[in-house]
Structure 1
């Protein structure tokens, strides 16, 4: 009996505790319901208006900077470097001497060939003078002439071989780092120094085949590179490949850019905009007014009822080209529509709002 009484007391206490907990939670729920039933204050937002702007249509791509002429200078004949006539980073002109190889043996060979040619010339002159008097035969004359011609050819060959001992700049350009040392023996084809023509310079990039009708020779091209932040370089399209890559379905385009200060270097990665010559009207919004989503981009359209209360509606939009901080709206809005310009994540469809700032008015005031 005593055990039963204890059990009954525990049950009663447990019931009181649970009842108190449930009662408190019910009270909290009632308070929340009462608060939600009361009208919520409107959210303060900034607004902007969809406006028509005149844009120059452009095609965006990525590319790389290429030298008009760019090679590693190498030697045609082996030899020991006798003299280096340049420093790393020099600017050179066509024909400037870069290095001289030891040419003592070649000079001696040339002297020998010239002596042989002189002797052949004298023999030919003697036979030529005797031929009219029939003192020599026609075959002797032909043989002497052939020997003389062969001797002259050997002289030209020796001179050409000697000239290859002097390596010269093949075109105007800027030198890179020196890759050889004085006194070093270099085999045929050893890289000596890199030389690049930097002004003008090429910009090569690829476009999808569907973009090909939007690009033509002479169209303006602007590009930016990470190595020169905040600066834009301008040129024009000078060549378009005649075929489309069958694997990637892209076409290669080449632009030529002036580069007088040499800021652009071969191998740089660049962002490219190819601009068409005509302009068109485009409906635009600031980037901050658009929420980009996997399932589609959207904005919060501001609507006003007869009583002057403003609410927001989630409106799906199709975005297009981007220029600066403005985005083209292809569909979903009309000119003059007002949308929330900032802090979109804290809004929900149907929520009341109050416009605290209009970005359009702020822009006009700053102007």
Structure 2
């Protein structure tokens, strides 16, 4: 009994403390028929005002509050990145057409050469002698033909037309033999086919070369071609002379500008990519063939309508947006062309500056009355 009395006393004390601090609870006051003052219950006035406001509304349904944003025009900037490898605009392997022993070389690595410069000489004694023989035969044939011509012009009947024709043919054959001998002799001297920079070569005097042997390389690297792969979605931005930015880890901090010169006419069926080649000026000689490049293409579309992505709603008929048409909700179908982060670029029949619902669109229906949250807010009076 003593414990029960103690518990009742504690309950009474706690109830009294609550009443002093917060007043009598509304349910208890209603049950006891006690009317509380606004001083003892500061929330009573607010709740009564709210009930009055709801009662004044008469249970009617007002305009739906939404958040709107104006349609703006902006271009879409797309960046395509790839990794490619550089090659000289013109690059050749220097090849000997004939076999023979090397008697002279001029193949210092990284030396600039001009087209026609002598690089290697082969032993040409046999070819020189063959040329002398051919020249002697030509002289003899020319002398015979000229003698027949003189005799025929003097009226000598011993020289027939057949003899003169045979002498003419012999002279022409001798001239051809001289030409062949000159070509054979010239082939013993190997010249630079193009101007450029020589690569490494281990050829030495005394080496015996076989026909079609590679003796060195020449790269004309004043202009480089960088080849790289782009995904299938990039074909819309591939045009001749499209500007391209390239950088290489060898020269950090430097960016080189080039242009697309050619690209493939089909998509690779395995990689689903297209091969592209860009041209980079290298007149200062900083870049070398074989370098790796990081390629970047910046493409900017024509200005298009752009909206926050939250404005897009979806249904069975596709994507659409809700437009504030003089306080009424109007649904307009749209086609999403590009998307990036929280913005979408669309193709739609919507005027620039039109207010589009970006929040609260899910509770709208066609023709519903709407009001923008930004317009419904009243500015606070300055204190």
Q: What TM-score do the two structures reach when normalised by structure 2?
A: 0.57
Deviation at 1:187, TM superposition (A): 0.9
8 A contact 2:229–2:273 mirrored in 1: yes
Give 2:136's aligned residue. Answer: 115
2:218 is the counterpart of 1:206: no
Deviation at 1:53, TM superposition (A): 9.5
8 A contact 2:75–2:301 mirrored in 1: no
Residue from 83, 88, 99 that aligns with 2:120: 99
2:183 is the counterpart of 1:174: no
Listed as ranges, the matches of 1:143-292 within 5 Å are: 143-276=166-299
| Equivalent residue pairs, number | 239
Residue from 341, 346, 350 that aligns with 1:329: 341
When residues 185 and 136 of structure 1 are mapped into structure 2, their CA distance, relative to the original with a 3 A threshold, is same
Q: CA RMSD in A?
A: 2.6
Listed as ranges, the matches of 1:22-37 within 5 Å are: none
8 A contact 1:221–1:275 mirrored in 2: yes
Deviation at 1:267, TM superposition (A): 2.1
Deviation at 1:232, TM superposition (A): 1.3
State the distance in 2 between where 1:135 and 1:329 align. 104
Q: What TM-score do the two structures reach when normalised by structure 1?
A: 0.60
Listed as ranges, the matches of 1:10-29 within 5 Å are: none
Counterpart secondary structure, 2:167: helix
When residues 199 and 280 of structure 1 are mapped into structure 2, their CA distance, relative to the original with a 3 A threshold, is farther
2:83 is the counterpart of 1:62: yes
Larger Rg computed on CA atoms: 2
Query: Which string of whole-angstrom CA distances, capped at 9 and with x for unpartnered residues, describes residues 290-331 of structure 1?
Result: xxxxxxxxxxxxxxxxxxxxxxxxxxxxxx99xxxxxx6254
Query: Which string of whole-angstrom CA distances, capped at 9 and with x for unpartnered residues, describes residues 244-270 of structure 1?
Result: 333333222111110123222222222
State the distance in 1 between where 2:101 and 2:188 align. 9
Deviation at 1:271, TM superposition (A): 1.3
8 A contact 1:225–1:270 mirrored in 2: yes
Decide which moves more: 111-120 or 244-253.
244-253
**Structure 1: runs of 5 or more not aligned:** 1-51, 284-319, 322-327, 333-367
Counterpart secondary structure, 2:104: strand
2:100 is the counterpart of 1:79: yes
State the distance in 1 between where 2:164 and 2:131 align. 26
Deviation at 1:85, TM superposition (A): 2.1
When residues 145 and 111 of structure 1 are mapped into structure 2, their CA distance, relative to the original with a 3 A threshold, is same
